[in-house]
A and B are shown apart, each in its own frame.
Chain A
């Protein structure tokens, strides 16, 4: 009885919570000219998952670099630069050019591929 009542209250609160639009969460970095699906394939092809956990990318379970989940909510790329699309695209292709100390290597890829990967990271959560 009491258990059902508490579940009811919980349900009431949760549903009204869902209905009420929680304000202040409308900013999402936009990626211009990237294809998330091709980005996912590119992330797999370049074996980014050897070093990073990437949700939705097979075998992406590496622990050398940080996990790449929740990327659209991150404030900074690599804890170093503002998380803006153009910054992330540059970082993906050539991190050492931006921060010579970083353990992340430069990877030869096309601008399109880096853009696609960034698009995937922003769209997957």
Chain B
């Protein structure tokens, strides 16, 4: 009986202690957040332990998600010259290349983009592919799968795998021989789903100007809200709101309206088809 009561009291004290800890934590967090004490400046590095934890966390996460990726025969699908064309167009300004400095863009960021000679050598192909295709959230590393075709991504991986072993002279030769190459963009879209289409909206930065129903994003009023889009009669006040017109508009707004602030974002037609379908059906 005595032990029973003691046991019950122990549970009570532990509960009170746990709740107090949560409260203190929430209170301290609120104070730090609301006072503005937490610096978001790109000149302020994490604490050492935070940095190491995040660095290792990235490796664990990439390893887990890249696990399902089947590496194709790179000799067959990949082309190092094409890979370098992609790298030169999209990667070099932040990551640099052997003997080539990164642009100022890649010097002012925190976390600072890696110099890839090391990671390209150490990381498995699937990991490099995953990080290139999907990017790294809150690091400044974009996802490239909406700019570079799958073969183009594998070519980029093939270039990365070759890069650490190239002399400066060999790299210069590769640069010259790849002058005429261009980086292949995707031409097809994955099959339709709301989730995939939301990724598309983000990948073309639509949600930076438009509030889009069903999505988490900034409460922005730069462009009109696209909630309840199906009820609209006109697109941008100039085109009757039909699915086909909406696709045309998303692909080339500047061609349709002389005055619109909405830029052409190089949305490929298959992606625009999904976006139009999403907007036309999201309230169902």
Contact = CB atoms under 8 A, between A and B. Distances in A.
Contacts of B259: 78, 80-81, 98-99, 101
B234 A80 contact: no
B231 interface: yes
Interface string B30-67: 10001000000000000000000000000000000000
A74 B219 CA distance: 11
Contacts of A70: 221
Contacts of A102: 237-238
B233 A64 contact: yes
A79 B26 CA distance: 42
A13 B30 contact: yes
Given A9-B23, A80-B259, A74 B221 contact: yes
A80 B26 contact: no
Contact of A79 (B22, B30, B34, B224): B224
A66 B257 CA distance: 16
Query: Which residue of A5, A16, A76, A104 has the most chain B CB atoms within 10 A of its CB atom?
Result: A76
Contact of A101 (B34, B225, B238, B262): B238
Given A76-B222, A79-B236, A79-B262, A16 B23 contact: no
Given A13-B26, A70-B221, A63 B232 contact: yes
A65 B237 CA distance: 7
Interface in B51-106: none
Nearest to B222: A75
Interface string A70-92: 10011110111100000000000
Contact of B257 (A5, A63, A80): A80
Contacts, number: 71
Nearest to A2: B19
A122 B101 CA distance: 50
Chain B interface main SS type: loop
A73 B221 CA distance: 6
Contacts of A63: 231-233
Q: Say what secondary structure dominates the interface of chain A.
A: loop
B221 A65 contact: no
Q: Choose among B234, B236, B237, B260 the residue with the greatest number of A CB atoms under 10 Å from its CB.
A: B237
Contacts of B236: 78-79
Contacts of A99: 237-238, 257-259
B223 interface: yes
A33 B222 CA distance: 26
Nearest to B253: A79
B30 A12 contact: yes
A104 B257 CA distance: 14
A9 B262 CA distance: 42
A97 B261 CA distance: 17
Interface in A3-48: 5, 9, 12-13, 16-17, 20
A78 B237 contact: yes
Contacts of A80: 257, 259-261
Interchain residue pairs A-B with the least CB separation, the first 4: A80-B259, A75-B222, A73-B221, A64-B233
Interface of B: 19, 22-23, 26-27, 30, 34, 221-225, 231-234, 236-238, 257-262
27 contacts: A2-B19, A5-B23, A12-B27, A16-B30, A17-B34, A63-B232, A64-B233, A66-B224, A66-B232, A67-B225, A70-B221, A75-B222, A76-B261, A78-B236, A78-B237, A79-B236, A79-B260, A80-B260, A80-B261, A81-B259, A99-B237, A99-B238, A101-B237, A101-B238, A102-B238, A103-B233, A103-B234
